[in-house]
Amino acid sequence: MTAANKRTIRTLLQGAVAFAVALPAIVDASGIPAALPWVAGALAVAGGLARVMALPAVEAILDRVGLGLVDEEAPRP
C-alpha cells in the first residue's frame, strides 16, 4: 500500500467518525440552523481524532494494521 493510499484511508476514517457523530442530529433537524451546532461538533471530533491519530502510541498501532505513515522504501534503480 502506498503512503498516499494510507493517508487517504486515514482521512476517510476520520471523516466517517465525524459524520457518524453528526448524522443523528442531521436526520432529526428540520432546518439547517438546528444542525449547525452538530456540524461544529463533528468538525471538532474530526480535528480531535486527527490529533489523536498523530500520537506516537496510536501511530504504532496504526503501523501494526498497515495504516501507519512510515515512509516506504525508495524503489531501487
pLDDT digits (tens, 9 = 90+) for 49-65: 878 877 888 888 888 88
Helix (H) or strand (E) holding 41: helix 32-53
Residue 54 lies inside a defined structural domain of this protein = yes
Global pTM?
0.45
Has residue 77 got a pLDDT over 60?
A: no
Residue 19 lies inside a defined structural domain of this protein = yes
Residue 51 lies inside a defined structural domain of this protein = yes
Domain count, the chain: 1
CA-based R_g, the chain, Å: 16
Residue 71 lies inside a defined structural domain of this protein = no
